[in-house]
Structure 1
């Protein structure tokens, strides 16, 4: 593969999936859509292609990759065991935003997919174009988020082109403004006795407990870092951060507090908040850049729009971003997890 800048990154339509699959089989990188974020795809048995994913993203080589499959049945070809809990999770939540950690068979995937690892994270995305693409390739794809490492994840095809135009062979079109979920998948490690959440996402602790009837615990990044190896991405390194500092605004603050925060600084402000907050601030003729997280009646919109908002405000002339935080609930947990990783402080 040519490691330097390509002539142009192609946008593959649905009728061009075979061409995208051929590019992947030849060791090229092709970004693909999922319901969570866009992934930077490479065929998972080509070590050179997988290493190129790390290089193109600027991703540390010890940050684990997730492997994407097109069916539940195919998982058995790549892992040593599928326990009853893992099978129940697959049957309940796949295709969907859930990654499951399995004991990996040696010698199946490229060495750089699971360096010094005895496990691999696998998921089946809920995106028809991508499931067809994987099937056409004939082998699973690695697919870390298709963005420069450390930056906000891509939830639109424009985000991918912004970061990688001319650096990858192509990107598969999802014909949508944004991906459906907007943050990366939940990552879990299931055993017979309990499920450990290694990275929160749209599949919540309550959903996992209801599906399996066993204990579900969330393992903090700090706890995971104490181990000899890290099984999940999103644990060890800085993630999701725009160039400007991001300050989370505690949900206890009133609209008057928001106005005071803006008026007390000479810096140019970017606001990432729900529509009612932005509208109220605008009526007071306070000058600022802004990006709406949607209606306060639809919290899932905030999660869907989080990364798009951070990217939009990064491209504005603001010096600092004030981002709305919410009370901690199952529904807001993934949003708060990603925003806290992007933020420098809470006000």
Structure 2
């Protein structure tokens, strides 16, 4: 296990074997199960079933050409899912699995097109969360050791990813654990069974590294950093800069993503001060997320809901999505976030904040109830 991997979260009330088996049986029957990983909660379905994968897309409102990631248990065989298995993939598996790293490789012909959005590649990962591992192992056993669970984040497409079971229930009005599934009706939307494994430790989605084209290319930054990858492979991965036209589509890489419902602006603090002053003059209450050392008097302003930004990238990542969801409930007209340093250690948090802000870049002067991308 790599030093960069988080310590898995232990839920205060561990799930029973019966609850895990019930969830595995639901997956086996083509139903959807939301489960915790160390990154975010995933909305899982049988990766070998086009019908189950279609239910995931329908539940999320996800575009059919936007691929999902296949999750495997530690004892699973990633080569079952791959047409090619590069030496680099094996090195990275040995270094970072189980953990928050997704590898993109050429897809085996037996894998449904729906998993990859019609592409010839597939994303694979092995999560480290104990609940995820128990569920994946139980499901894989039902499939002769070759079961995989397709699981994007358990939220409506484009919205903030969930890092607690309650976030999932807020999104889908979902069922909670095995004992409630026989009795709980779902008022609206899809039926989603939820396994509660506590809050996620990493808090943002996995690093996605493409190995399908003969060289390593970072498609989505995450907890496993470019430096971590370079130490294992002996070469730095290509970084996402918008110029890689041949890159496969991957989860969470659209320009506008991870967005709250409240308009959000990401700017240097000096630019935020002008927006804070304008909001004060207009009598609006806004949220400000910034370093305490920079906030100054704005932290105490009557019209400002101030949140001190975590100073360390891992803590900022862990708290980010819960913070955005809380600010959606804070009765503010806009969320103003101080832009972070443009360094590799902040690349993952900058990626998520940049995509969240992009959903509102054409709406910065629009009313608070403007439609969200």
Fold agreement, TM-score > 0.5:
yes
CA deviations over 1:208-238 (Å, ceiling 9, x no partner): 1111112321133x335x44x7331122363
Q: Counterparts of 2:240 and 2:75 in 1: how far apart (Å)? A: 26
1:270 aligned onto 2:287: yes
1:210 aligned onto 2:231: yes
Structure 2 alignment gaps of length 5 or more = 1-12, 141-146, 174-185, 365-373
User: Could you say which residue in structure 1 is the equivalent of 2:183?
Assistant: none
Confirm or deny: 8 A CA contact 1:83 1:192 kept in the other structure: no
1:286 aligned onto 2:286: no
- Per-residue deviation at 1:13? 5.5
Structure 1 alignment gaps of length 5 or more = 1-11
1:38–1:230 CA distance, 2 compared to 1 (3 A): same
Report the TM-score when normalising by structure 2: 0.80
Confirm or deny: 8 A CA contact 2:280 2:303 kept in the other structure: no
Task: Determine which of 18, 21, 25 is the counterpart of 2:24.
Answer: 21
Task: Determine which of 160, 163, 172 is the counterpart of 2:195.
Answer: 172
Report the TM-score when normalising by structure 1: 0.85
Give 3-state SS (helix, strand or coil) of 1:201's partner.
Answer: coil
- Per-residue deviation at 1:256? 7.0
Q: Counterparts of 2:318 and 2:334 in 1: how far apart (Å)? A: 22
Q: Counterparts of 1:273 and 1:134 in 2: how far apart (Å)? A: 39
1:292–1:153 CA distance, 2 compared to 1 (3 A): farther
1:192–1:101 CA distance, 2 compared to 1 (3 A): closer
Q: Counterparts of 1:60 and 1:120 in 2: how far apart (Å)? A: 17
Q: Counterparts of 2:169 and 2:306 in 1: how far apart (Å)? A: 23
- Per-residue deviation at 1:315? 2.1
- Per-residue deviation at 1:262? 5.0
Task: Determine which of 261, 264, 272 is the counterpart of 1:243.
Answer: 261
Give 3-state SS (helix, strand or coil) of 2:62's partner.
Answer: coil
Give 3-state SS (helix, strand or coil) of 1:217's partner.
Answer: coil
1:163–1:255 CA distance, 2 compared to 1 (3 A): closer
- Per-residue deviation at 1:290? 4.3
User: Could you say which residue in structure 1 is the equivalent of 2:157?
Assistant: 149
Q: Counterparts of 2:125 and 2:211 in 1: how far apart (Å)? A: 14
Task: Determine which of 221, 244, 262 is the counterpart of 1:200.
Answer: 221
Q: List aligned pairs for 1:3-82, cutoff 5 A.
A: 14-15=15-16, 16-71=19-74, 73-82=76-85
Give 3-state SS (helix, strand or coil) of 1:54's partner.
Answer: helix
* Root-mean-square deviation (Å): 2.5
CA deviations over 1:179-225 (Å, ceiling 9, x no partner): 111111111113796310011111111111111112321133x335x
User: Could you say which residue in structure 2 is the equivalent of 1:4?
Assistant: none
Give 3-state SS (helix, strand or coil) of 2:259's partner.
Answer: coil
1:245–1:41 CA distance, 2 compared to 1 (3 A): same
Q: Counterparts of 2:220 and 2:46 in 1: how far apart (Å)? A: 24
Task: Determine which of 294, 316, 320 is the counterpart of 1:302.
Answer: 316
User: Could you say which residue in structure 2 is the equivalent of 1:342?
Assistant: 356
1:280–1:128 CA distance, 2 compared to 1 (3 A): farther
> How many equivalent residue pairs?
325
Q: Counterparts of 2:262 and 2:338 in 1: how far apart (Å)? A: 16
- Per-residue deviation at 1:79? 0.9
User: Could you say which residue in structure 1 is the equivalent of 2:243?
Assistant: 223
User: Could you say which residue in structure 2 is the equivalent of 1:160?
Assistant: 168
